[in-house]
Amino acid sequence: MSQVATEHRSGATPDHQGIVVQGLTKYYGDHCVFKDISFEIGPTEIVSVVGPSGCGKTTLLRCLNGLIHADEGSVLVDGDLVSKPRPEIAIVFQDFGLFPWKTALDNVAYGLTVRGTPKKKARETARDFVKLVALDGFEERYPHQLSGGMQQRAGLARALAVEPRVLLMDEPFGALDAQTRELMQFELLQIWDRNPAAMLFVTHGIEEAVLMGDRVIVLGGRPSGIHEVVDVPLPRPRDAATVASPEFQNLRSQVWDLVMTVRRNTAGADEE
């Protein structure tokens, strides 16, 4: 499987600098979605973001890939300002976002074809990534013929196929049942180990955040901002044993307490 990784790792260059977010602030009208968010993600780091509903996690993610523009602050990827979607930045959606009229293979190839890769070549490349996410055999199926887990693998393959420097995950396993969710977490970690990229992993799940990330950012408050950042120095590769370890459980409690605090703060500020 690492064959695939080396063949497609062509993008690694010395100036792969990861993500730098500085002073990011966003308003919708008068409502402040988040204020003054700053953090960095190294070129091969995973940073998780947790927080109560409404803390702006999703908006933050959209700012990072250029779909939305913040009112203040900046986002740099590899040293360049992000002002619109770029080929180095790929995003995976919670509801998969597959086009129902395309087969799984064509969906995976979409990121390539839409930026001009000839269809034949795009599909060849896509096939490799379909195999990578263990979806081979299902290439010609339509999304409605795939289970949720399979659809999300396709969504993941689509993002990976463009060989991004940055992977943005928007609660990618939120729509899956608990078992599939856990399986997918480990699978994603394995895939990422072989094809590292800077990853921002937004989630509601506290365990998930600790499992995935090198760091966990706890977002929240009124106005929403970075409440605290927790380092997760657990060794990689991570697996079921990691989850069972006492260190993991400690970190999990730590993050849990922080999130509960933030929830109370946010709720408290609401009661006026």
CB of 51 to another protein, least distance (A): 19
Work out whether 30 is an interface residue with another protein (CB under 8 A): no
Q: What is the CA radius of gyration of the chain?
A: 18
Q: Which residues pair with 105 in a beta bridge?
A: none
Those residues whose C-beta lies under 8 Å from the C-beta of residue 147, and which sit 6 or more positions away, are: 180
Work out whether 241 is an interface residue with another protein (CB under 8 A): no
Which structure tokens are listed for 100? 């129902």
Among 13, 83, 245, 250, the residue binding another protein under the rule CB under 8 A is 83
Among 5, 76, 189, 243, the residue binding another protein under the rule CB under 8 A is 76
Is the Cβ of residue 100 or residue 235 nearer to another protein in the bound state? Answer: 100
CB of 189 to another protein, least distance (A): 23
DSSP string, 9-77: GGG--TT---EEEEEEEEEETTEEEEEEEEEEE-TT-EEEEE--TTSSHHHHHHHHTTSS--SEEEEEE
Is the Cβ–Cβ distance between 131 and 143 less than 8 Å? no
- Per-residue burial over 167-190, b = 16 or more CB atoms within 10 Å of its CB, e = otherwise: bbbbbbbbbbeeebbbebbbbbbe
Is the Cβ of residue 111 or residue 196 nearer to another protein in the bound state? Answer: 111
Work out whether 87 is an interface residue with another protein (CB under 8 A): yes
Residue span 34-63 as binding mask against another protein, x where in contact by CB under 8 A, dash where not: ----------------------------x-
CB of 169 to another protein, least distance (A): 13
Is the Cβ of residue 155 or residue 221 nearer to another protein in the bound state? Answer: 155
Mark residue 142 as left, alpha or beta (left: phi above 0; alpha: psi -120 to 50; beta: remaining). Answer: beta
Q: Which residue has the tokens 């190294």?
A: 42
Among 16, 18, 52, 110, the residue binding another protein under the rule CB under 8 A is 110
Among 33, 41, 77, 91, the residue binding another protein under the rule CB under 8 A is 91
Is the Cβ of residue 92 or residue 191 nearer to another protein in the bound state? Answer: 92
